[in-house]
Amino acid sequence: MKLINNKNLAEMQFYDLIIGRYNELGLKSKKVRSRMEYSLLKHISKICIREGLLLVSSYRRSGRLIFHFKTEQIPKAIEVFRHIIGLHSFSPGFSVKPEFIQIAKFVLDYVPSYIEDKDSFAVRASRIKPFPKSSLEIEREIGEQILEKFEAEGKSLKVDLTNPKKTVYIEVREKMAYIYSQKIPTIWGGNPIETDKAVLSLWRGIKGENIATQLMIRRGTVVEPVIIYADSLGISRNGNKFKEILNNIKGNAKYLSEPMKIILLNAEPLIKQIQQENISKSDFENYIIYMNMTLLANLLKDLNETKEIIYNKKPLFFKGILTPTNLSDEFYYLVGQRLPPIHFMPLIGLSQTMINDLDIRLRGLKDSDSSNFLMEGTELENKRSKFSLGKTVSSGSLVKKNPADANFAVNNENSGDLDEKLEKITLYFEKEKIRNLINQIINNKEIREIQNFNV
């Protein structure tokens, strides 16, 4: 990335649109792809409104999503599009009539703002079949015209078709031809967010909650967070832990086009009842785990019956519960398998080191300078710039687990002991007194919109 400078500004004076690309969405059937494209257009339009961007028009065009803005809004649009879930990459650019003479003219007007003396460059072209020239002919002829233009001005350019420093892209479509120079990867890629996919997410102030939530949103899921708070858990409504959890949730809310809802459950009455059982500390930790999962399961059932939470004018039907359960959370896994709702565990196959590394990368991306959005470097360097789980796995990160990050960490016990304890705790939570307390907590839940929520 590089900061905006006068050269970037000169280049951007030509831009009046954003070309969006998706990835696995292209593998869907024609009917499903069409539905998801429209869903993505609507999602992005709402985000643009929320971010103060005036979207002049938007439409689908042969595997591309085109968004027109006023030229002066392109820098902010680039910043916003970096965070769009559902897009794999995008390009700021401009359009001309799909006629070769017009394309060549505008490319020659544009390249001095982008290509510099002694640069290596290439022209990459694609076109619909009825166009009179092939893609190779477009590349060769316009490339030659660029060389001639620079040579006439006493400048030197080098054609490099393998790894050029600068690339001019030309896409000839049915109604317009699009010209651009950068393919900027979005941070998360993923699928369009749709209302038929919704889950509840447990937040208790541990590392991995951000990652688990983001990975599910990346799959096109509406994730609504649940905070189970109590003074006995160290999560007080007026405490720093609660504020920290809330701030982390806000960092994820910007990826949804509709306001994210937060569901608050006060578990203090139930915890006080459990504390009367005179159990050991390790057993108490297991009781709290079972309590968290039971509250989530009952909340999910309640919300699906009452249809209280609306997203995109449709009541959400929650298909499961999401936790940051990983390989060290064996008891969470066992409880999640015991209860009726589907238990989503996107971190289950990741080591604590990998989770820590992902968390660091995610926080680094969130805190990055918003003006650092124009890509600098060769094609290969730009292709390698996308955030990915694969990078993290192969990076060999030596980030160590911080014991302070884990609340209610389960002690090392063999599976037989855990199964026996699970049976005992399950019987406890089936008592009528406990079921009544759970129903009371669910009935007293609070549902608040993230932007209207004040701690």
Q: Quick one: which of 183, 187, 184, 1 has its CA closest to 84?
A: 187
Q: Rounded distance, CA 157 to CA 115, Å?
A: 9
- Scored b (16 or more CB within 10 A) or e, 199-229 reads bbbbbbbbbbbbbbbbbbbbebbbbbbbbbb
Structure-token pair, residue 25 = 């969405």
CB-facing half-sphere around the CA of 401: CA atoms within 13 A: 14
Q: Rounded distance, CA 40 to CA 190, Å?
A: 11
Q: Which residues pair with 235 in a beta bridge?
A: 230
Q: Quick one: which of 437, 94, 408 has its CA closest to 265?
A: 437
Q: Rounded distance, CA 378 to CA 167, Å?
A: 8
Quick count: other Cβ atoms within 10 Å of Cβ 271? 19
pLDDT of the chain along its 455 residues, tens only?
A: 343 445 567 788 999 999 999 987 877 888 988 888 998 999 999 999 989 999 999 999 888 999 999 999 999 999 999 989 899 999 999 999 999 999 999 999 999 999 999 999 999 999 988 899 999 999 999 999 999 999 999 999 999 999 999 999 999 998 999 999 999 999 878 888 888 889 999 999 888 998 999 899 988 899 999 999 999 989 999 899 999 999 889 888 888 888 999 999 999 999 999 999 888 888 999 999 999 999 999 999 999 999 999 998 899 999 999 999 988 888 999 999 999 999 999 999 888 888 888 887 777 654 443 334 455 556 655 554 455 544 444 444 433 444 444 444 444 456 568 889 999 999 999 999 999 999 999 999 999 998 655 43
Give CA angle at 355 (286, 390), nearest 5°: 140
Q: Where are the alpha helices (DSSP H) in 276-338?
A: 281-306, 330-338
Q: Which domains are delineated in the chain?
A: 6-185 (3.30.2130.30), 198-365+402-452 (3.40.50.620)
Residue 415 CA, distance from chain mean position: 35
8 A C-beta contact, residue 86 and residue 124? no
Q: Rounded distance, CA 236 to CA 230, Å?
A: 6
Mapping DSSP to helix (H, G, I), strand (E, B) and coil, where does residue 217 land? helix
